[in-house]
Amino acid sequence: MSLLEQHTLERPSSPEPFAGVGVRMTFARGEEIYAQDEEADLLYRVVSGTVRTTRFLSDGRRQIGDFYFQGDLFGVECGDTHRFAAEALTTCEILVFRPGSSIPGRDGDARIQAALWEATTQELERSREHLMLLGCHTALERVGVFLFALARRRGHGELAMGRQDMADYLGLTIETVSRMLSQLQADGVVQFFGARRYRIMRQDRLEAWADA
């Protein structure tokens, strides 16, 4: 595996089900962790940093599948290739391991199986939430709910991604994202400090959009 040779290798030291499992690797900002259509025989866990998964259409349109933060597992596929590529959004430490016999239904480490199951159903849930956003919501709602969900998931209001990544996640253009951010701020729903730090001011409204 040539990837393994290009990167810093360290013995893993993370706690919990992943102690002693896999290899820790460091990826620079913008670097590819795995490519679209690459063989999917490994699993990945974010030790630090932020990861995005992306898929390109041949004409250049891009969709972001999801963002992954500290502790998240990613790289789970149905078939034998990755439908989305994974890239380091910031400098990342990633724990890479072979699922091998840990796929549910076979025998293997039960704690890893359980973690994998948990990660997969959570991802399915986020994917469905993402679907609601794209299928039923206006541009303003998409941006607002995105900020809200992210703040809730991370515990703070700091965007690890730029406008283009938000746009490609939300099925909008950067201009529209920017306009909606301005409008949300003008409406007093959020307050921004610079382009990437923000604070939710009217949680009630955003919750109503996300839907109770």
- If one asks whether residue 160 binds DNA (CB under 7 A), the answer comes out as no
- If one asks whether residue 125 binds its own copies (CB under 8 A), the answer comes out as yes
Structure tokens at 30: 């913008």
Closest CB to DNA among residues 62, 98? 62
Closest CB to its own copies among residues 28, 114? 114
Q: 48, 164, 191, 203: which one contacts DNA (CB under 7 A)?
A: 164
Please report which residue ranges of 22-173 form alpha helices under DSSP H: 110-136, 139-154, 163-170
Q: Would you give the DSSP letter of residue 37?
A: T
Dmax (CA) for the chain in angstroms is: 56
Binding segment for its own copies among 26-34, 109-117, 158-166, 189-197 (CB under 8 A)?
Answer: 109-117
Reported as half-sphere exposure (CB side, CA atoms, 13 A), residue 149 has a value of: 21
Q: 134, 162, 182, 187: which one contacts its own copies (CB under 8 A)?
A: 134
Q: Would you give the DSSP letter of residue 100?
A: G
Cβ 179 to DNA, closest distance in Å? 5
Q: 15, 20, 135, 155: which one contacts its own copies (CB under 8 A)?
A: 135
- If one asks whether residue 81 binds DNA (CB under 7 A), the answer comes out as no
Would strands 197-200 and 85-88 be described as parallel, antiparallel, or unpaired? unpaired
User: Could you give the CA distance from residue 89 to residue 186 in angstroms, rounded to a whole number?
Assistant: 29
Residues in 39-78 at the binding interface with its own copies, rule: CB under 8 A: 55, 57-58, 61-63, 65, 76-78
